[in-house]
Chain A
Amino acid sequence: QLQLQESGPGQVKPSETLSLTCSVSGGSIISNNDYWGWIRQPPGKGLEWIGSIYYGGSTYYNPSLKRRVTISADTSKNQFSLRLNSVTAADTAVYYCARHLRGPSGYFSNNWFDPWGQGTLVAVSS
């Protein structure tokens, strides 16, 4: 059974870089049709897609965050990671990693996330 687990600091100072890792077990991130994504949820608010990566390195980012986000994958560790630069209080959220699947066409016009990690709360505070 595929499982994902986020890890990283629970607090980051304003203007610094948020770094999180998602460890995947029960399966490999080297999968022909799967991307691997990050989604966040500010306290009491809805979901926001951050971006997704293919094991080969291809990435898609939310344009609203693109200039500050880097997602990378380490196939040797079966992990993928998120870096978000220049954080502010608005970046305080629960950060989730998830497998990002696409339909037979391979286009993101048909996409969904399953399964999700349990999430990790990152607070931006001095």
Chain B
Amino acid sequence: QSVLTQPPSVSAAPGQKVTISCSGSSSNIGNSYVSWYLQLPGTAPKLLIYDNNMRPSGIPDRFSGSKSGTSATLGITGLQTGDEAFYYCGTWDSSLSAVIFGGGTKLTVL
């Protein structure tokens, strides 16, 4: 069981907006920055968001990140069928002295 809690699955229609939550504690999200990764089926994870809300070059502004207290949220607007994938949050846990990831959320675009 992951220290960071993500919903196992979310779904929405093409063109709609979806949010994916990542819940932690004061030893991780509460005192660290959050990153988000996209994993398409059969491929390696890819960085989507770092520093809570920064997008690397090449990531469209349909993807956004935010953090409040001990939770973080990934938002995706204008959903496309190609967005169907697993999404993972990650951060540092000062109690564990380790990088930790959420359990992952499967996004289905109906």
B-contacting residues of A (Cβ < 8 Å)?
A: 37, 39, 46-49, 52, 60, 62-64, 96, 101, 103, 107-119
Bound-state CA distance A46–B99 (Å) is 13
CB of A111 to closest CB in B, whole Å: 6
Query: Which residues of chain B have C-beta atoms less than 8 A from A103's C-beta?
Result: 33, 51
Query: Which residues of chain B have C-beta atoms less than 8 A from A39's C-beta?
Result: 45
A-contacting residues of B (Cβ < 8 Å)?
A: 2, 31-33, 35, 37, 43-47, 50-51, 56, 88, 90, 92, 94, 96-104
- Report yes or no: B33 in contact with A63, Cβ–Cβ below 8 A: no
Partner of B47, one of A60, A62, A64, A114: A114
- Report yes or no: A112 in contact with B45, Cβ–Cβ below 8 A: no
Query: Which residues of chain A have C-beta atoms less than 8 A from B45's C-beta?
Result: 39, 47, 96, 113, 116
Query: Whose C-beta in chain A lies nearest to the C-beta of B94?
Result: A109
CB of A107 to closest CB in B, whole Å: 8
Bound-state CA distance A101–B56 (Å) is 12
Bound-state CA distance A65–B33 (Å) is 24
Query: Whose C-beta in chain B lies nearest to the C-beta of A118?
Result: B44
Bound-state CA distance A116–B2 (Å) is 21
Question: Given that A46-B2, A103-B33 are contacting pairs, would A115 and B102 also be in contact in the complex, using a CB cutoff of 8 Å?
Answer: no
- Report yes or no: B47 in contact with A46, Cβ–Cβ below 8 A: no
Bound-state CA distance A112–B94 (Å) is 15
